[in-house]
């Protein structure tokens, strides 16, 4: 699932020029799969980054 999620996230990020996150619903929980950063916009040292907390 992680490989498929990453492929979709890369496609979405490339198409819209934004960071893409993928998560799946597991009962009442949301399980974080991956994040692909935007490749456009400010230089990497100027970009605002966030790191989601993994786990349940």
Q: Per residue in 11-55, pLDDT tens? A: 998 898 888 999 999 999 989 888 888 776 666 555 666 666 665
Residue 5 has pLDDT above 60, yes or no: yes
Domain map (residue ranges) of the chain: 2-46
- Residue 28: what pLDDT? 94
Instruction: Tell me the pTM.
Output: 0.66
- Residue 17: what pLDDT? 83
Q: How far is it, in rounded angstroms, from Cα 27 to Cα 47?
A: 34
Q: Let me know: does 31 contact 23? Beta carbons within 8 Å.
A: yes
Q: Let me know: does 19 contact 35? Beta carbons within 8 Å.
A: yes
């Amino acid at each position: 699932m992680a490989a498929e999620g990453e492929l979709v996230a890369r496609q979405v990020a490339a198409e819209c020029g934004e960071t893409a996150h993928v998560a799946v619903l597991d009962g009442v929980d949301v399980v974080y799969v991956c994040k692909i950063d935007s490749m456009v916009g400010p230089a990497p040292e100027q970009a605002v980054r966030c790191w989601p907390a993994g786990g349940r």
